[in-house]
Structure 1
Amino acid sequence: MSEKLSHFDEAGQAHMVDVSAKAATQREAVAAAFVELNEAVLAALPQNPKGNPLEVARFAGIQAAKRTSELIPMCHPLALSFVDVQATVVAGGVEIRATAATVAGTGVEMEAMTAASVAALTVYDMTKALDKGIRIREIVLLSKTGGKSGEYRRGNS
């Protein structure tokens, strides 16, 4: 683990990390989020009058991944080669899984995390009429490959 935060200089000023000397390599990241829903909301998902919330959430997550650098100040704009978002009904809610990939000099963890987060927020938006107590939880990086820091798998570090 690094002993300093990479987005700050010696004086403590925030800055965008210079990745111009880094080799462009294939990189992929997978993130997840969980939207906790009660049984009534889960039962109503297919018949929601606003449309299929899970499909809308998928599209929102994909769109969000492509706009990550506009939302997170120090993120580099990346040409994404792949984004996938899956929203699956499971016991107690909806599991979101987002994958982002690129060939670049910096990773795509933030794109995957942003996709999972916005997909989860979209599930909330599409179902909040039925329950304002919906909880979004466990937004996590599951894995990443490529780059100088190598491979990461949640639970293996």
Structure 2
Amino acid sequence: MSHCILNQNAVIHGWERARGAFPFAIELLSRGIALIQLPCPEFLVLGGDRPPMSYQEYLTLPNYRQTCQKMLQPIIQQIQAYQAEDYQYLGVIGINESPNCSISGQRGVLMEEFFAACQAAEIQAPYLEVPTWYSETEQQDFSKELQRFLAKGGRNE
């Protein structure tokens, strides 16, 4: 899952939507669902005090796409290792409209590289996205979407 789902300290200061982790991540852990946290290239490359940037602006950073590719290599290896041990990989959870972690619409830079790496490794990559309105205090129907995702075993149908 996207890094900031488990660690809101990585988002741009003032844009946090929860204290620590999003509530649904805590729910998943309490249900015995193990989570793999994707790296946050925004935080690792530019730090916590970075300005808001668009997808296009991230593309102009030297070697940014290659940095994302390198960061994802151990994640792909982990997924493959778990699958070799017969663990079920449910898929990836991204952040809608993020310049790096968006999946639908304009896919973020990190997710473009994640899905390309999954395809190269022949890993099915079902997904779910956290809506832009989701927060610690505003969860609305996201719980229903999450339950559908889990019930399908992570399959996009």
- Note whether the superposition's TM-score is higher than 0.5: no
Q: Which one has a bigger Cα radius of gyration?
A: 1
Which has a greater percent of strand? 1
Which has a greater percent of helix? 2
| TM-score relative to the length of structure 1 | 0.28
| TM-score relative to the length of structure 2 | 0.28
Greater length-normalized contact order (CA 8 Å, ≥ 6 residues apart): 1
